Structure 1
Amino acid sequence: MSAKASPTKKKSIIIDCDPGVDDTLAILFALGSPELDVKAITTVCGNVPLEVCTQNALKILELAGRTDIPVHAGCDSPMIGEPIFGKFHGAGGLGKLVLPDPVTQPSPQHAVGKMAELLRAAKTNNEKLTICTLGPMTNLALLIKLHPELLSSIECVVSMGGAYRIAGNRTLTSEFNMLADPHAARIVYSAGLDYVALPLDATHQAMTSPERVSWFKGGEAGSPLAATYELLSGWSRNDPRRYGSDGGPMHDPLVTVYLVAPHLFQTELAKVFVECDSQLCYGQTVADWYGQTGEKADAQIVQKVNADGVFSIMSERIRSLSQAG
């Protein structure tokens, strides 16, 4: 008698986010991927104010039929200074997409407390969690400061953020998530964890061309697929001089796609530093590609993306999520 193959163990993740058009797609992809077990959604001030982010997270889970996943609101401002907000998501955070007001409520526990609770449980069970950051790193930085004893239960931090070999998207040098709370990012990248970074270098390769957007057609009204098509259809930057093509860059979905299909990405190992002092370069991420600082390289920085592969698997998984509902 041959032994039965054991089922592949799901990867347990926390999605820390600021929904956000592209956060929405990252979450929907994760929920449509059987390889991933989303333990919680935590929100942070970023693209829109914290309260709006949290309401959007609840709306997304209701859209996907996954109200079993708790939503925990986190930090409503950066560690130092005043919040800045995104420019491309609209006042409600979801572009022109209108979703019903959520029926469910966020959990009363603070996001950082929930992160700690889940990591503590993982430690007890000799397991690990992957933390996905789709917005400013404020919540994760606070977790690191308050609960350093739990960091050994973090398998990896997979983040959308930074700009290395290309210009910033909010200032000359800085990507929005890093600029919104560089002090938090510096704490995170100094904690000695394992990191995967998906910077603008990668996300600007994943453009929403008309052909790729068409792959998301056909969803029934009110389905995740129909919502995704509407979001993608309105995401064009109309700036081919900058991006090399029509459409707009897909940022946050690359994080959750990476977890499922890392073969679609090529990375380079480096140590990451975050600038918090220079006025001109505030929020800039700097990579030590060649070991010049002598510090340990611990971040896999994505530099190449198979964009057609990314959009193909996104459409497959979000379509599957829609059919399951």
Structure 2
Amino acid sequence: MIVLAWMLARALTPIRSFLCRITGTATFCQKKRMKLLIDTDSGIDDAEAILMALAQPDVEVVGITCVHGNTNVHQVTKNVLRTLQAADRLDIPVFRGAEASLIGEKVHASAYHGDDGLGDAPDPNAPLESLAKSEHAVQALIRYANEMKGELTLIAIGPLTNLALAIRLDQNFTSNLKHIMIMGGNIEGRGNGESLSAEFNFQGDPEGALAVFNDIKCPASIVTWEVCCQPYNNPSVDKFLEMVNMPTKKAHFVKRIRQKQIDEERFQRLGFFRSCDALAMAALLRPDIVEKSEKHYATVELNGSWTRGQMVVDWEGLLKKEPNLNIIMRVNKNAFVELFESALR
């Protein structure tokens, strides 16, 4: 029943949006458009998350800031522009940001995302990096937060270096935001990438992640690595292949950048399709699809021999601190699939 109601509301959204633009009346304009800023280290699942946001008529993507992570920040910037080109949305401003973590360390995810971050499936007609704005991403983050005080939602789907630098430059940065969504960290000490116990984005800048956690002054939510690994949160491989084989420009783009993974035996063996950043984006765009979440205080380990970058949750309230995160545990899979499919239509 919940899914049917959600799908009905989703189906009526374009009609309501059209009537709102035409009539301007409160009857059809009950919900203000979300003003969304995306901070990304654009790999494959980042691209999918961006396409999902762009497909929502009640969401205005005001800008995209780029950070090091899945690949170097210059390639990240090119990847974002290429994703926007696939959606015919090169009008959205793109800003290049931090090239390394706060202490200068760099990570990469070439084993998963390819050397170029988009599956090593180059496009000779891809936009040039020169289309990005000259303003630095950190300055853009601060400017947008000030200009849209209390109205701007920020989703961070890469290492948190840009956000940490914005906090250091403007002590009011997070208090000016309406909401922060983070994809990163872990709640079970399960690592990915090259770490035994740290999630990739937090491993990419542990100090940056801690700086953000210590300065959250607005509602904040997080989708962690282990949550993205649960079959009950994700579509089947067969459903994913059905979606990327739709005869649309965006579906073709996603299939191209996923092709190397699709061809791997482990992709079929896993039994379900995982797109961490898209899952976080879905939970942000449609909070009603979240079926389970808990509010807790969390921090980040910096000094452990094996646990540097691990997210640590105070499950029992031993630190006597107010919760700083809403930790999302489970989403409605059918609703997530519908959002993902809408991104590729």
| TM-score, normalised by the number of residues in structure 2 | 0.84
Asked whether 1:309 is paired with 2:335, we answer yes
Determine the C-alpha separation between the residues in 2 that align with 1:187 and 1:219.
42
2:143 aligned to which of 98, 113, 117: 117
Measure how far apart 1:211 and its partner are. Answer: 1.8
2:203 aligned to which of 173, 179, 184: 179
Change (3 A) 1:84 1:3: closer
CA shift digits 1:266-314 (9 cap, x unpaired): 2111111101111210000011122111011120111123333312221
Alignment check: 8 A CA contact 2:141 2:166 kept: yes
Higher relative helix content: 2
Determine the C-alpha separation between the residues in 2 that align with 1:238 and 1:307.
24
SS of the aligned residue for 1:269 comes to strand
Change (3 A) 1:269 1:238: farther
Alignment check: 8 A CA contact 2:222 2:325 kept: yes
CA-atom RMSD in angstroms: 2.2
Determine the C-alpha separation between the residues in 2 that align with 1:291 and 1:144.
26
Alignment check: 8 A CA contact 2:244 2:344 kept: no
| Structure 1 outlier segments of 4+, above 4 Å | 236-240
Determine the C-alpha separation between the residues in 2 that align with 1:35 and 1:268.
27
Change (3 A) 1:144 1:5: same
Measure how far apart 1:152 and its partner are. Answer: 2.1
Measure how far apart 1:216 and its partner are. Answer: 1.1
Determine the C-alpha separation between the residues in 2 that align with 1:136 and 1:238.
29
Deviates more, 1:281-290 or 1:165-174: 165-174
Percent sequence identity is 28
Asked whether 1:107 is paired with 2:133, we answer yes
Q: How does 1:130-279 map to 2 (within 5 A)?
A: 130-165=153-188, 167-170=190-193, 171-193=195-217, 194-205=219-230, 206-207=233-234, 209-220=236-247, 223-235=249-261, 238-239=265-266, 245-265=270-290, 266-279=292-305
Determine the C-alpha separation between the residues in 2 that align with 1:181 and 1:77.
8
Residue type of the alignment partner of 1:33: Q
Unaligned runs of 5+ in 2: 1-24
CA shift digits 1:169-199 (9 cap, x unpaired): 1312110000010000000001033211100
Residue type of the alignment partner of 1:309: A
CA shift digits 1:104-160 (9 cap, x unpaired): 61100000111111111113xxx4211110100000000011011233221111011
Deviates more, 1:96-105 or 1:33-42: 96-105
Measure how far apart 1:101 and its partner are. Answer: 2.1
Determine the C-alpha separation between the residues in 2 that align with 1:88 and 1:297.
33
Counterpart residue number, 1:59: 82
Unaligned runs of 5+ in 1: 320-325
SS of the aligned residue for 1:159 comes to strand
Asked whether 1:21 is paired with 2:44, we answer yes
| TM-score, normalised by the number of residues in structure 1 | 0.89
